[in-house]
Structure 1
Amino acid sequence: MAFGIRELSKKLAQIRLKLHVKNIFILGKAHDEGLITNTRETVDWLLTKDPGYKVYVEHTLEDNKIFDTKGLLQKNPSYEGRLKFWTNELCEQKPQTFDIVLALGGDGTVLYSSWLFQRVVPPVLAFSLGSLGFLTKFDYDLYPQTLSRAFEEGITVNLRLRFEATVMRSQTRDNEDQSDLVEQLIGEEAEDHHTHRPDGTYNILNEVVVDRGPNPTMSSIELFGDDEHFTTVQADGICVSTPTGSTAYNLAAGGSLCHPDNPVILVTAICAHTLSFRPIILPDTIVLRCGVPYDARTSSWASFDGRERVELKPGDYVTISASRFPFPCVLPMNKRKTDWINSISRTLQWNSRDKPKAQGRK
């Protein structure tokens, strides 16, 4: 599956997809007054441009005074029936309704679009209205030109790797005092499918983090790759990142920068107890499991793209693998090859320094 997605991504990067756009999904921060104004402006422009467009905005804007749905409909009666409102349930149950997603904001808004569309994701065209721009590729001030060109000439899409993470709950915690997580996952008890049960699956774009949470002591985490026990992690936590997430928590924890086209999994310890625990990069064909040993002194906590934080009690673990549902990100047509290097140079000031003075000058 991972190889198939990789090959598809390579092919898509070389072609221009012609869209037949009818249903447009707009995502912005519904509680940011400035972004609500931007959303209204974009909706007005789209509905005026083509009478065949249907534009969906968040349902909380229907009664928002700044968005002013009533005033927008009074301005042009033809908008009636074409201005619609989406809910989380609609995104989950009928993602195929939408032809394209327009994200207005920063990288967090793009991450939220990944969270909304947990399975099939429409192509996401992200306009920069935030502070950073690793995922927001387009200048909002040029949105009329950008959207006109995209809808008329087509788009180029990059499939970003996402992880599928499943929480597995121990079913033997209460009645087996001598349970061993290593034995249950790769040892003699590995064939017993009744030791654990699934308890929620998440598709994530940035990272899965397992950490100590509110506990004052560090976490103890068992790390497995396929059918091998890698190591026992003694640290504040562990960050398992996609290439897209390499510039987020992974980077702050001391992990490597990684181009998003690389088919890899980045594993970085958070404040490890041993200085020899260096970050490691693994192929995306590996299935990782991060678990809390039965003899751990405290629970750990798992979060998925910074959301849905859940407690992992002794015996629980999280399984992490390449997702069947990648994240399609629309790329600028004129700078596809240099886009990522430009973004880290712009946002991180990567390898930026003052030039040395010429020899002989003071």
Structure 2
Amino acid sequence: MTLRLKFTHGSHSVHVQVPDLRPATIYARFSSEFPDALKPTSTSTAAPTLRWLDSDGDWIEIRRDDKDCEHILLQVVNKSGVVHIQSGFTCSADEPTTQLGTLMHRYEKVMDAFDHLSRTVVKLPPISNILIVTKPDPKLSKLTKELSVWLLDTFPGITLFVDKKLQGRSSFKYQEILDQNPSWEDRLQFWTKECQTCKDKQIHLAVTLGGDGTVLYTTWMFQQRVPPIVAFHLGSLGFLTNFCFDTYRPTMTNIIRGEGMNLNIRMRLQCSVYKYEEGPNIYSPLQKQPDQLLTANGLDAHSTSTVSVTTLTSSSTTADGSDDSDDDGGESHRQRVESRQKAEIMRRVKEMDSKRGTEVMDLGVCHEQGHTLLKMVPNPSTRRDSVSGIGIGVGGAGGEEMIQPTDTWQVLNEVTIDRGSNAGMLQLELFVDGNHVTTILADGLVIATATGSTAYSLSIGGSLIHPDKNSVIISPIAPHSLTARPMIIPGTKHLRVCVPAASRTTAWASFDGRHRQELGKGDSVMITASRYPAATICRRDQSTDWFTGLTQVLNWNSRVLQKPLESHL
């Protein structure tokens, strides 16, 4: 099977045929047709990318790691017969727009896209591997067996993955299932807590038997791509579980046979933990001028240090090495140089943080003078004589990279930072897009998604957020200030919560109630929107399921109605 593509580079176009539409195939074929098209230019260090033209006339970037690109482009080829692909640089949101009408048109298209997404009826691709996650309740083992036997008997092409713990339970009766049909042994497999048996095979659908906690656990198992989840209500609350188990046969039949349905695309948060580490001072502020410290080459080009650390020191020596601790002029000069240096570094770091979303540490709030600000490690792919500036070359070609986080998690509900067993009040610094927003004095802080707005965030006074809204709600826990109220911000913002050096106590962080760990002074958590959302299958549609859950499960705004005025007569 061959597929037609139209390649355009500059004023030249050519029609080609490719065996598949994987990004790697498209990039390789484009490079063979236009060898110099995807190389960095003299005016930009970034390499051009490829973009394809959709039906609305918009150019969409083809990412090399996009696993869904092939499926989308195949639909376009089947509909129009050819896909138009051209080279170019991806437009940045920070680039100025010359026409106001263009900006308004983009806004209109984004709003239409979100509205269309919530009402789109989706047909799932062919399903062959199904993961069943069961709440650890012995009573549900029989129901898991009932569902498994029916799926194996009704759909011969289905392979099931069931919890390994059920294999030895008498209520599941694994041997009785094999006696019923010995050929099911290869189609009924078992997964462990780490889902080791599922890694070699792609899971096309996840079925949960339990409550909301089972749904959270299922999304936690998939720290990257999450398969669509159909949740049967067999737990306590059931706000996220829309389907009744009594109707599992028609429900599963419609899903597996590819009937149209609505999906609830639930935003997740990517939470990265950074641990503060003391580092040696590399330079004194008076040894170089600020403009020299912030050049493209940054540190000494002949430096062979394996780890370079950018610091603000409190050195009191002049450039010639003499002691000026008693010289008012020297002290004043040192303070001016240090102030200019700090302001310039802050400006560059903020610019880098807001434009590239780089996970950086702040200056002067979480750390005192002499403490590490940005810790950099050498990039193995660069030459030894290529040394980056003070965090300016992060993520770019050449230079050094920022130290990696100690832990990174994808959470569906919320990340909670609290005081733990400490009796005192917790002090936290909140940053949004690299800008310091406020200092929070409270028992803790909850940063939740729209899905998590009906959980812990709601119990501490947070607002309800429709799951169709990609927003983040920040809710203080028992704040010391009465004006510290919950705050809803766009999900595209980059948040960071830091325990400052001046804090009296340490903090504790948990992610969807898991992996609880202590945050010491100087430690921080970077929170951004995850590239891997969780999709749950709707019983009806997003709004209907959500409002039904509010009224029937949470009893939202339920009360006895007032009697008419004449009722007492």
TM-score w.r.t. length of structure 1 = 0.91
1:198 maps to which residue? 405
* Residue 231 of structure 2 corresponds to residue 49 of structure 1: no
Q: Give distance in 2, aligned partners of 1:69 and 1:9.
A: 46
2:537 maps to which residue? 330
2:552 maps to which residue? 346
2:476 maps to which residue? 269
1:237 deviates by 0.2
Counterpart of 2:406 in 1: which secondary structure?
A: strand
1:355 maps to which residue? 561
**Contact (CA 8 Å) 2:205, 2:228: kept in 1 or not?**
yes
**Contact (CA 8 Å) 2:191, 2:198: kept in 1 or not?**
no
Deviation by residue 1:121-154 (Cα, 9 ceiling, x = unmatched): 1100000011212210111111011111222224
Which has a greater percent of strand?
A: 1
**Contact (CA 8 Å) 1:210, 1:239: kept in 2 or not?**
yes
1:171 deviates by 1.2
Q: Give distance in 2, aligned partners of 1:237 and 1:258.
A: 21
1:171 maps to which residue? 277
**Contact (CA 8 Å) 2:413, 2:455: kept in 1 or not?**
yes
**Contact (CA 8 Å) 1:16, 1:155: kept in 2 or not?**
yes
* Residue 351 of structure 2 corresponds to residue 185 of structure 1: no
**Contact (CA 8 Å) 1:24, 1:53: kept in 2 or not?**
yes
2:166 maps to which residue? 61
% identical aligned pairs: 40
Stretch moving more, 144-153 or 206-215: 144-153
2:487 maps to which residue? 280
AA matched with 2:412: L
Deviation by residue 1:280-329 (Cα, 9 ceiling, x = unmatched): 00111110001100121111000000010010000000000000100011
Q: CA RMSD in A?
A: 3.0
1:50 deviates by 1.5
1:192 deviates by 2.8
Counterpart of 1:44 in 2: which secondary structure?
A: helix
Q: Give distance in 1, aligned partners of 2:117 and 2:505.
A: 47
Evaluate the alpha carbon distance shift between residue 327 and residue 24 of structure 1 in structure 2; reply closer, same or farther with a 3 A threshold. same
- Number of positions where the alignment pairs a residue of Structure 1 with one of Structure 2: 359
Q: Give distance in 2, aligned partners of 1:245 and 1:83.
A: 34
1:350 deviates by 1.1
Q: Give distance in 2, aligned partners of 1:235 and 1:161.
A: 27
Counterpart of 1:101 in 2: which secondary structure?
A: strand
1:85 deviates by 0.5
AA matched with 1:193: K
1:87 deviates by 2.2
Q: Give distance in 2, aligned partners of 1:201 and 1:173.
A: 23
* Residue 411 of structure 2 corresponds to residue 306 of structure 1: no
**Contact (CA 8 Å) 2:134, 2:140: kept in 1 or not?**
yes
Deviation by residue 1:240-287 (Cα, 9 ceiling, x = unmatched): 000000000000011001101112110000000111101100111110
Evaluate the alpha carbon distance shift between residue 258 and residue 177 of structure 1 in structure 2; reply closer, same or farther with a 3 A threshold. same
Q: Aligned ranges for residues 93-112 of structure 1 at < 5 Å?
A: 94=199, 97-112=202-217
1:126 maps to which residue? 231
**Contact (CA 8 Å) 1:266, 1:282: kept in 2 or not?**
yes
Evaluate the alpha carbon distance shift between residue 262 and residue 336 of structure 1 in structure 2; reply closer, same or farther with a 3 A threshold. closer
Evaluate the alpha carbon distance shift between residue 229 and residue 274 of structure 1 in structure 2; reply closer, same or farther with a 3 A threshold. same
The structure that has the greater radius of gyration is 2
Counterpart of 2:428 in 1: which secondary structure?
A: strand
TM-score w.r.t. length of structure 2 = 0.59
AA matched with 1:11: L
The unaligned stretches of length 5 or more in structure 2 are 1-60, 62-92, 94-106, 282-310, 315-341, 347-359, 365-370, 377-401
1:94 deviates by 2.4
**Contact (CA 8 Å) 1:207, 1:239: kept in 2 or not?**
yes
Counterpart of 2:195 in 1: which secondary structure?
A: helix
1:190 deviates by 9.7
Counterpart of 1:35 in 2: which secondary structure?
A: helix
1:186 deviates by 3.5
**Contact (CA 8 Å) 2:498, 2:522: kept in 1 or not?**
yes
The unaligned stretches of length 5 or more in structure 1 are none
Q: Give distance in 1, aligned partners of 2:475 and 2:407.
A: 24
1:228 maps to which residue? 435
Counterpart of 2:145 in 1: which secondary structure?
A: helix
1:316 to 523, 538, 547: 523
* Residue 21 of structure 2 corresponds to residue 21 of structure 1: no
Greater RCO (Cα-Cα under 8 Å, separation 6 or more): 1
**Contact (CA 8 Å) 2:270, 2:527: kept in 1 or not?**
yes
